[in-house]
Amino acid sequence: MSDGFHWLDVQRIAEELADAYPDLRPYGTNFVDLRNLVESLEGFGARPGHPVNERILEEIQRLWHEEAEDLRGDDEDEDA
């Protein structure tokens, strides 16, 4: 995934976070830290007119949690 993305790409952000931070728990990450994590992702770039807000961060956190659960589930299936 080399093309750029921004705050409105919440599903992409969640996928990137799940891949980049497999040991972090989404719901254990506060919004300040979440924002910093997203801004540090390769390919991320904020766009004028599309600022981040609490609603976007909540959705990213929810989707990240789902992605992380899916990844953990996939790993467990491979071990079985």
Give pLDDT tens digits for 5-36.
Answer: 999 999 999 999 999 999 999 999 999 999 99
Q: What is the pLDDT of residues 32-69, one digit of tens each?
A: 999 999 999 999 999 999 899 999 999 999 999 999 99
What pLDDT is recorded for position 1? 42
Which residue matches tokens 């040991």?
Answer: 23
Residue 20 is encoded by which pair of tokens? 């980049």
Angle formed by the axes of helices 10-20 and 54-79, nearest 10°: 50
CATH number for the segment(s) 10-79: 1.10.10.600
The CA-atom distances, in angstroms, between 75 and each of 7, 55, 69 are 29, 30, 10
pLDDT at 74 over 70: no
Domain ranges of the chain: 10-79
Distance, CA of 63 to CA of 66 (rounded, Å):
5
Beta bridge partners of 10: none
pLDDT at 80 over 70: no
Q: DSSP code of 7?
A: T
